[in-house]
Amino acid sequence: MTTITDSPLAVDFCGMHFDRPLVLLSGCVGFGEEYTRVKGFSNRDAGAVCLKGTTLEPRLGNPPHRVYETPDGMLNAIGLQNPGVDKVVNEILPTLDFGETRFIANVSGSTVEEYAQVTRRFDDSPIDAIEINISCPNVKEGGVAFGNDPEMSARVVAACRQATRKPLITKLSPNQTDIAENARRCIEAGTDGFAVINTLMGMAIDIESRTPVIGNNQGGLSGPAIKPVALLKVQQVYQVCREYQIPIIGQGGVTTAADAIEFLIAGASAVGIGTALFYDPLVCRRINQGISEYLQRHQLASVTRLTGSLRLNVPGQYRCGC
């Protein structure tokens, strides 16, 4: 792909060159084509695009309602609707312009074996990297999400590592006890990078019918409401990642340049944009401009100088969160 080698916004992520530090998140841009119909939109405004979650076989997804707007956020329970990995590789990938940006596949599954099979199929494709969505339920373990247990997370990463030589990015769930320990186990299992965080689980209720609004009863909460949680999780994972020089895509509620800069300072090397795209498809251009202005104002030659630059306060006498 064409690169802007001297751009202050350029970053290297898992051996890939991104012209911009922004990544369009999985589930928000379909298979890379949804926003190309919007006047003024360009994939070049992002360093990479994460494709929609893909499973071994086609899936119809969950019953409606699948999406519900909340104060400062959105609940969704799409249920991984997708045409299956064979169709994605054979029919969709050939339509993408790999000279325009990087494309990252998102792999999902109900068993460790399915994750490995889908990863192996993408390994034999032009895809640039593979993101592992370990927030899926493990059907062999009573439906517990792979990502909520460090041992299961590591097993999925290890299986995918054996199935590909492409960069592996593990998408970590915030719905777990110790995200830093999970990250450490995934690094030991072979991940090359992380996406932090996936959605928080939430619910909305129709008070007239006294039933959940979401057809699946619960869904993933995204948008500005989760940003403080996401920032903390990025900072916690960064404490582990800096030991191994493992990069992070920080994500969760980013709508402005200031939001993106916060994630970089907390430890992210790149920043994911998701929910904001639904109401402002051209948000990436504005965020890139804001980051550029910040770098100029602070006399920083590169956005990489921001990563992990957080100056923590010295702990005082009181240690509670009150």
Task: Identify the bridge partners of residue 17 per DSSP, sorted by sequence position.
Answer: 12
Rounded distance between C-alpha atoms, residue 192 and residue 14, angstroms: 6
Angle of helix 112-123 relative to helix 150-163, nearest 10 degrees, comes to 30
Q: Which of 240, 223, 178, 225 is nearest to 67 (CA)?
A: 223
- Apex CA 151: angle with CA 134 and CA 173, to 5°? 35
Rounded distance between C-alpha atoms, residue 111 and residue 206, angstroms: 34
Rounded distance between C-alpha atoms, residue 192 and residue 247, angstroms: 8
**Active-site residue numbers?**
136
DSSP label at residue 26: T
Q: Which of 15, 230, 20, 284 is nearest to 130 (CA)?
A: 15
Give the Å distances, CA to CA, from 262 to 82, 126, 231: 33, 33, 8
Name the one residue in this structure whose structure tokens are 């592992």.
Answer: 132
Give the Å distances, CA to CA, from 46 to 38, 100, 162, 228, 285: 15, 9, 29, 23, 8
DSSP label at residue 86: H
Q: Is 195 left (phi over 0), alpha (psi -120 to 50) or beta?
A: beta
